[in-house]
Structures are given as C-alpha cells and as structure tokens.
Amino acid sequence: MAEAEPLKVALLGAGVVGSQVARILIAESATLAARIGRPLELVGIGVRRLDVERPGVDPALFTTDSAALVARGDLDLVIEVIGGIEPARSLLLSAMEHGASVVTANKALLGSDMAALSHCANANGVDLYYEAAVAGAIPIVRPLRESLVGDEIRAVMGIVNGTTNYILDKMTTAGLSFDVALNQAQELGFAEADPTADVEGHDAAAKAAILAGLAFHTEVRREEVFCEGISRVTETDIAAADQMGFVVKLLAIARLTDEPDARVIVKVHPTMVPKTHPLASVSGAYNAIFVESRDAGQLMFMGQGAGGAPTASAVMGDVVTVARNRLRGASNDMQTGYTTRGVAPIGDATARHYIRFDVADRPGVLAACATIFGDHNVSLQTVQQSHLEGARRQAGFEARLNVMTHEASETDLAAVVTDLHLASFVGDTIDVMRVEGH
C-alpha cells in the first residue's frame, strides 16, 4: 500500500514558541500521523534572519521570504507565532486566500482585527484556530466557541497575564514593592526587559477583546477595551485589601449590561477579589479564567498561560484539529460577530469600589464626605476612619477614610472623585480600586 500523502505545513516564526512547535512537528511526527490519520510535512519556516543557529532543524527549511512561502499554493496549514500586527496580518490573509488553514497564537492581531481574519477564513473555506492566543495551554477558546455555544454566557473574568499575576502575588505574599517584584519577574524570565505591555495591561486587553467576542458573539476590538495597569498599585493597596479579606489581581472582565438592549462591557484593571473567590488563590505566573453561564453555572479554567512549551501545546492541539478537518474536507465557521451588540463605554460599567483618602480630622467632615457620595447616587457599604501618625500624616489632614461602596456606575463614581478633589477638607491623593465577587 502506498504511503499516504502528507499534509504540507509552513511555520512562521522560530522564536521561543516557534522552535518548540518545530521540535514537536519533527520529533513527534509518527505520533501526530497516528492521531491525524496522515503525516504532517514541515516544508518551510519563515524567519527574519538566517544567521541564527537553530539546532535540530534542517537549515534548508528556513527562508526570509515568508510572503512567497505562504503564497506557494500547495500548503494545507500555516502556523503563525511571530506576533505583532504586520507582517502577520498580511501573511495570514495571503495564506488563507491561497487555500491554507491557519493556526495562530497572535493575540495582538486577533484583538485588533478578528472580524477581517474570520471573514477571510469563511470566504475561502478554511479554518482559523487560535487557542494559544489567550491563555497559553489553558483550553478556553474552544469551550467558549464550541462546548458552551448552546448556553448563555453571562460573564467571563480572568487572570490572563502571568507577569502581572506573579508581581501582585509577590507583593501580597512576600511584601515586596512593585519595583522589586518586577525586577524579580524579569530576572526569572517572566517579564520582558520592557514590561510595558504586561504591567500597563495592554497584553491582557487584547486577550479580553478575544474572550468577549467569543463569549458574546460580537465584534470587540482592542481599542474598545478599557485598560488600566498595575504600575500604580502600592504596598498600601495590598495591605488594605488583605485587612478587608481581599487580594489584588489584574483581571480581564467581560459581561453584558443590564439594560434591555444589552451591550458588552470589556475592561482590564487591578481588582480587589474576595479571598473566598476561586481566582484569589491563583498564584505565581499562572493564568485562570472564570466563566459564569446560565445552564452550566460557574466554570474555572486554570494553568500555565505563557512559555514556549505550554503555548506550543495549545498550538499543536489546534494543528491536530485543523489537520483532521482538512482530511474530512470540512472547516468550521469561525465568525463570532453575528449579534448586533455594541461595546458600552466604561462609564456604563458598574462595580463596587474601594476608595482611600485623607481628610481633616474635625467635626462635620465625615458627614460632608457622605453627602458628596449621596449627591452622585453612590451608596456607602462600609466606612473606616483611622488616625494618621508620623510620616503618614500630612499637614491639615490627620485622618484616613477607607470607604467601600455598594455597586455604582463608573460615571457616578468619577463624579464623586472629582468633587472630593475639590473639597478643601480632602487631601490631594485619592486612591480607587474596583471590587469584584461576593
């Protein structure tokens, strides 16, 4: 019997993840063939430079002409792990237009241009899979897109950036400052030399856009995601959260508004989470995603969210699925934006809020502060007042108020903060953190 003709595969990128994918394709070729039903043949690897040593891979496979590689016309599958918007976008569109299915780990591209990529895949009858783009080895894309498609998702909330979770975890468990924890994360390889994308929340925001689109079947672009990072989180914030039974996490949150014509709220920000909540115990550089649905109830997905091997594992899971689809002559419709829901502005979002500020310690001040909250329809849940001593004390502001509100809109809360800043009896610094969970 003649040997089955292999499926032709091209790989774009040979960095940390790409090198692991190439290793698996070569070293596990027999196992993959058994799982798929036909061998996979790696026919080319697009890279920026040819003068980098890449052990274990035939040098003849490497090319700097990635555009020609994806347009050769006989490819069954293109795997993209180069990241960024361009040239990845153009290369993937070309690959699909030339008949190849695509597996990508590119969260930035999917977060900004999911609709165009999905449309191209559907128009050309090919697959677009991206399990590795959101949380590394954690299987969350397929459950949202396939397993829960018959259910109604009510909220998706998660830790989707391992760097920030490691930093906040060390600030909580070891009492480190943000700067010291960040330096430690960089030394261990959890954070890049330029950590901006992680600590300012941009990485998490791209993933939040993807999750929101999947969960609520609507187009969500990265620029529509409210984004606030952790660089301003202090040891005082961590200690205050601990005293009240909370931990601080950078969360990506997507949920529907309550109005009849529900819209999608998508946001990323530091969040106080009750210690009893499943997300509170997620430590180190781990990721976790918490899903609330009408019928399935509460679901938790947890695992390694980054790194070459975990991400390559998710990529290869998609590769096997896409290859099987190829053999069946089928493809899955990847279009998620089939509802007309829009993305609501952050001002429409509601949450409980923790607010800390210093005030003058004299009669009537507490009542005046309560009036400011009440004037903007923000109800107070708890108020704690403490006397400031020594270096913590500013001239004229001898007391500190720690306020927990009931659920209030971001617009109303912002109006409260504005009026507090204008009040002569309130100090210059007003710290606000959102609260999730019960």
Does residue 249 have an active-site annotation? no
Question: Looking at this protein, which amino acid is placed at residue 325?
Answer: N
Q: Structure tokens of 93?
A: 């569109």
Q: Is 177 annotated as a binding residue?
A: no
Closest C-alpha among 228, 227, 246, 247 to residue 171:
247
Residue 291: CB atoms within 10 A of its CB come to: 23
The DSSP secondary-structure symbol of 3 reads P
Closest C-alpha among 258, 253, 263 to residue 291:
253
Q: Structure tokens of 212?
A: 């929101």
The answer to whether 104 touches 92, Cβ cutoff 8 Å, is: yes
Residue 403: CB atoms within 10 A of its CB come to: 22
Please list, in sequence order, all residues whose beta carbon lies within 8 angstroms of the beta carbon of residue 71, skipping any fewer than 6 positions away: 94, 95, 98
Q: Is 17 annotated as a binding residue?
A: yes
Cα 223 to Cα 30: distance, rounded to the nearest angstrom = 43
Q: Is 432 annotated as a binding residue?
A: no
Active-site residue, selected from the candidate residues 170, 207, 249, 267: 207
Q: Is 19 annotated as a binding residue?
A: yes
Q: Is 15 annotated as a binding residue?
A: yes
Closest C-alpha among 359, 367, 368 to residue 396:
359
106: helix, coil or strand? coil
Q: Is 16 annotated as a binding residue?
A: yes
Question: E strands within 148-258?
Answer: 153-159, 226-227, 246-256
Please list, in sequence order, all residues whose beta carbon lies within 8 angstroms of the beta carbon of residue 27, skipping any fewer than 6 positions away: 56
Q: Is 364 annotated as a binding residue?
A: no
Q: Is 107 annotated as a binding residue?
A: yes
Residue 185 region by backbone torsions, left for phi larger than 0, else alpha for psi between -120 and 50, else beta: alpha
Closest C-alpha among 216, 207, 158, 206 to residue 344:
216
DSSP bridge pairs for 266? 254
Q: Is 245 annotated as a binding residue?
A: no
Residue 210, CA distances (Å) to 220, 256, 264 in order: 7, 15, 13
Q: Indicate the helix (H) or strand (E) that contains 128.
A: strand 128-129
Q: Is 8 annotated as a binding residue?
A: no
Residues making up the annotated binding site for NADPH are: 107
The residues that are catalytic are 207
Residues making up the annotated binding site are: 12-19, 107, 192
Residues making up the annotated binding site for L-homoserine are: 192
Residues making up the annotated binding site for NADP(+) are: 12-19
